[in-house]
A and B are shown apart, each in its own frame.
Chain A
Amino acid sequence: MKKRNKVLLVGWDSADWKVIDKLMAQGKMPALKSLIDSGVRGKIATMDPPLSPMLWTSMATGKRPFKHGVLGFVEPDGQGGIRPVSSRYRKVKAVWNMLTMEGIKSNIVGWWPSNPVESINGCMVSNLFQQEKKGSELLDVSNWPVAEASVYPESLIDQLKDLRVHPLEISLNLISPFVPDVLKMERQEDQKLMILSKFLAHATTVHAVATELMETQEWDFTAVYHDALDHFSHGYMRFYPPRREHVEKEDYDLYKNVVDGAYIFHDMMLERLLGMIDNDTTVIVVSDHGFHSDHLRPISIPKVPSGPAIEHAPYGIFVAKGPGIKKGEQIFGASVLDVTPTLLAIMDLPIGKDMDGKPLTSIFEGEKELKYIESWENVDKYGGELLDTANNQTSNNEAALQQLIDLGYIDDVAQGEGGSDQIKAQIKENNFYLAKSYASAGFNEESLEILLEIEDKSKPDYRILTDIVNCAIRTKRYNLAKEYIAFIRKAKVLGENQLDIMEAKIQIGMNQPMEGIQLLNKVLKEMPDSIDLLMDLGRVYNAIQKKQNALDCFNRVLNYDPENAYAYYGKGLAYLRAEDYENAVEEFLNAIERLYHFPVAHLHLGETLALMKEYQAAIDTLELVRTMMPRVTKIYRWLLDLYEVTENEQKTREYKAILSKIQLGTKTIISGLPGEKLFQALESLSNKNVHIGNSKDVFNSQVLNVMNPDWLSEYTGDVIYVPMQYFGALNAKFEYKFIFIKDEPEQVMDYMNGLMKMRKSSFNPELLADLLNLEKGTMSWFNQQPNLDISYINDIRKLDVFV
């Protein structure tokens, strides 16, 4: 049988490219650099909430938190109390269980959470092994028993226990590379130094165990997880250069090297690991999120549970090197959910279809053959079990029941005697994370249900209330959103400005963009440098095709944050809509230069190039986009168009075949200037039993929530009425057929005047100008779309063709 290639997975909590790239440029992270040079690198997207135990469990299962069950930092212990998060709540198989089922030997070291350890095929040392505390009691070096259920098999305890390093064993010698002036310090027991010794000790223990197991045990897969970088970053990133005004100079000088030192130390540990493996071993280095190290560092930390997570940045690192993996390339679109599916693909094992992640196929040279199974959960093989089965907690829905208790439906039996306020608060906190996890997967209904369950008006929590409003807006429950905004105003837990922004979103959602814009502008006067607000406003202006206003917003963003790729992208869109292609190209390039993983920016760049008849450049760009967003069919249609124009027959055939294979959903859109003709057209269609999606009433058209990227999916019907000003928001997922009712702007003006109870013949120059503008904008949009099927209807009697 062919020898199985080994896989080494190294987890560095919080590792961030910004710090790493600086250090690599100075030659200070040679081990990681060697991997990158002979492998692939990329950003890996984190998930909301960016909390490590949830993320690393997603990493090890390929599933989102609401599926895997690990929520937050603590969990109910089933006896009315709480305890640190453990592996007991994990409801699904982790990669080490899958490998055990397949007879593959693993070493799992330090994973968070992994206590109690599991009886897997191989060895497992949990995240409690390096802990010097039992509960809140600090254990002494000389009396430091190995944590319960932290080592499997237990026979390894003797071999491993002396590899533990206690924080009190960390000498100043070891601290000085991080804090060079430590010997000059007056108070060497400074709390900050304690953090340093603690996590240096932890990292050392984890690394010593990993190296020991790799050296003395047979293994096919080793996974080692370090939380130290995250703790170092939370403790010391505020002292990272450049110094900001609010940071004391003295502290800055002392601690400015700590973060760099921590990264360098991790690279040194990596170097040792790389020295222990052969060339056929695949190595993956990954983090769960990044960490702000520049001007995006927050000045203060909110005083709420998990408040420090505000320092986390949305992208972590992903590096892979090994046989069959590309060399020296960037990869895009990785998520923490993809790690397990990718590991399975590397090991030629099937990926569970119930996993939320996808295998990162772009890391492989050539086509990788993938295998799938429905689920690993039903595989009838031994995958290992928890070392202690006591306290096995199965019911995880305490908060879900709370509402029924509050409503008087059921008795408060589940809480038992020990249900103290603190425990209830913790359970509530975990359910808040569960709600966030649902929302971040787009399950807004599920999220809202939980949020309403945990919301308690006697203890208003702005985080929960804010999320309720946002979920309500996303699920179009505008009255619910308004009710909560009224409460938040009364309870004064959020600033007026934030409330106004929420109300603006409601207005925009309710198809009153002008009112929304007015409100946003009002807030803008008070928060003139709010980047988020300017971006929101710019997007709304772009959606209603107000080029100059949109440009103003994005330019203001760029004044504050010259590296903001999204602002450049917004400018590009504004120019594109106004048919100013030269400027559009420049702005899209500006965006891409700052954020390469920005597929839609590449897409619009490609489109703009095509419109400029730069066919080859457009093809090159769009071929790249295709690899970034393989599921967006619009790109294939563009490419087909471009290959046809450039008379590339082979490619034309290829894309025709691809397009015929992809199930393209086609939506038929009816639109036109909102005059009598359009009104009659809609009426005559529905009289002929054509079901019209959206409202058939042109003037009180139902709420079109175009800020939701998937808004069109909500409308079914043979024909969907979409007002012209929303064409820009039509999603590239579908193919469109347009029925466009041609009407004279003057007549439409007359008609609208009539509706507005004005004299029918009165001339309304502003309205007419708006209508002309709208028509012009629509025609230019039509011209910019690939392979568009438009039927212009002058005489509505000809509509019969569509019946």
Chain B
Amino acid sequence: MEEILVVTGLPRSGTSLMMQLINRANIPILSDGKRESDISNPEGYYELEAVKGIVADNSFLKEAPGKAVKIVAPLPMYLDLKLKYKVVFMRREMDEILRSQEKMLQKDQISEREKFRTIYEFHLKKTYRFLLENDIPFIDVNYNRLMVDSEKELEKFKDFLNLNASLQELLEVVRPDLYRNRNEK
């Protein structure tokens, strides 16, 4: 695969889970492993420190063809258009994202929920617009469906990336205990 596999989506929408799936499917991950896993995300982040500097410097992407990298929305807007990409776009119920974030930040953000909802809507819109305008192939993977209808959602994802990994291997990654905070409404 010559493309760079970009996993994007809003924070708390299952991007880390997707990185684990990709890892299990033996696609190399562009990662420096700097950030330790923490309690609210036991499987660890697959995050690259250089992504945070993408606005000023996206040269780290030159190392990325054939590898996967997690870049949250709307940062894919700053991708180097001279390179080729495939994008997995993680989606999750907005209210769940907002609740999950509020919980992670451990502060009562109820009074800003609508603000963040709107900002995230804009981030999604911008990212989609960027992908469409630049003809970058992408697939939506729905986190909520991945939990209840895992096989179907995983097949879709496998097809998009032409993965050899067995469905069973992937299903093991999608463990229900990772579906955090869901029933704590």
Contacts and interface: CB of A to CB of B under 8 A. Distances in A.
In the complex, A touching B, CB below 8 Å?
yes
Contact of B53 (A413, A445, A449, A480): A413
Nearest to B49: A411
A2 B17 CA distance: 73
A477 B52 contact: no
A410 B49 CA distance: 9
Interface of B: 11, 52-56, 72, 74-75, 111-115, 117-119, 122
Contact of B55 (A401, A480, A483, A486): A401
Interface in A439-492: 445, 448-449, 452, 455, 457, 472, 477, 479-480, 482-484, 486-487
A802 interface: no
A39 B122 CA distance: 49
A404 to B, nearest CB: 7
B75 A448 contact: no
Contacts of B72: 409
Contacts, number: 49
Contact of B112 (A401, A445, A483): A483
Contacts of A483: 111-115
Given A411-B52, A486-B111, A477 B75 contact: no
B119 A452 contact: yes
A452 B118 contact: yes
A411 B78 CA distance: 14
A101 interface: no
Contacts of B122: 445, 449, 452
A409 B113 CA distance: 18
Nearest to B118: A480
B119 A403 contact: yes
Given A410-B54, A413-B55, A480 B75 contact: no
Most buried by B among A409, A457, A477, A484: A409
Contacts of B118: 448, 452, 472, 477, 480
A428 B47 CA distance: 31
Interface string A412-456: 011000000000000000000000000000000100110010010
A409 B52 contact: yes
Contacts of B56: 413-414
Given A409-B75, A410-B75, A452 B55 contact: no
Most buried by B among A445, A449, A484: A449
Interface string A397-408: 000010110010
A410 B74 CA distance: 11
Interface in A156-214: none
Nearest to A482: B114
Contact of A480 (B52, B74, B115): B115
A413 B49 CA distance: 14
**Interface SS of chain B:** helix
Interface size class of A (residues with CB under 8 A): 20 to 34
9 contacts: A407-B11, A409-B52, A410-B52, A410-B54, A410-B55, A448-B118, A483-B112, A483-B113, A486-B111
B53 A411 contact: yes
Contacts of B55: 401, 404, 410, 413-414
Contacts of A407: 11
Interface in A698-729: none
Contacts of B75: 404, 409-410
Contacts of B111: 483, 486-487
A449 B74 CA distance: 13
A414 B55 CA distance: 8
Contacts of A413: 53, 55-56
B114 A477 contact: yes
Contacts of A472: 118
Nearest to B112: A483
A543 to B, nearest CB: 27
A668 B53 CA distance: 53
A414 B57 CA distance: 11
Contacts of A410: 52-55, 75
Contacts of B117: 480
B143 to A, nearest CB: 19
Contacts of A403: 119
A692 B111 CA distance: 36
For the complex of A and B, list the 4 residue pairs with the smallest distance between their C-beta atoms, beginning with the closest.
A480-B114, A483-B114, A413-B56, A449-B122
A487 B113 CA distance: 12
Given A449-B122, A455-B115, A483-B112, 18 more contacts: A404-B75, A407-B11, A409-B52, A411-B52, A411-B53, A413-B55, A413-B56, A414-B55, A452-B118, A452-B122, A472-B118, A482-B114, A483-B113, A483-B114, A483-B115, A484-B114, A484-B115, A486-B111
Nearest to A403: B119
B112 to A, nearest CB: 7
Most buried by B among A401, A403, A455, A483: A483
A308 to B, nearest CB: 31
A449 B54 CA distance: 21
B42 to A, nearest CB: 20
Interface string A345-373: 00000000000000000000000000000
Nearest to A475: B118
Nearest to B72: A409
Most buried by B among A410, A472, A487: A410
Nearest to A395: B55
A79 to B, nearest CB: 15
A399 to B, nearest CB: 13
B115 to A, nearest CB: 6
A472 B75 CA distance: 25
A455 B112 CA distance: 12
A413 to B, nearest CB: 5
B115 A452 contact: yes
Most buried by A among B52, B53, B55, B72: B55
Nearest to B74: A404
A465 to B, nearest CB: 11
B73 to A, nearest CB: 9
Contacts of B74: 404
Contacts of B54: 410
Contacts of A409: 52, 72, 75
Nearest to A480: B114
A50 to B, nearest CB: 28
Contacts of A445: 122
A484 B118 CA distance: 12
Nearest to B53: A411
A404 B118 CA distance: 14
A410 B77 CA distance: 13
Contacts of B114: 477, 479-480, 482-484
B135 to A, nearest CB: 22
Contacts of B115: 452, 455, 480, 483-484
Contacts of A455: 115
A450 B11 CA distance: 20
A484 B75 CA distance: 27
A472 B8 CA distance: 27
Contacts of B113: 483
B99 to A, nearest CB: 15
A645 B53 CA distance: 72
Nearest to A449: B122
A477 to B, nearest CB: 6
A486 B75 CA distance: 31
Contacts of A480: 114-115, 117-118
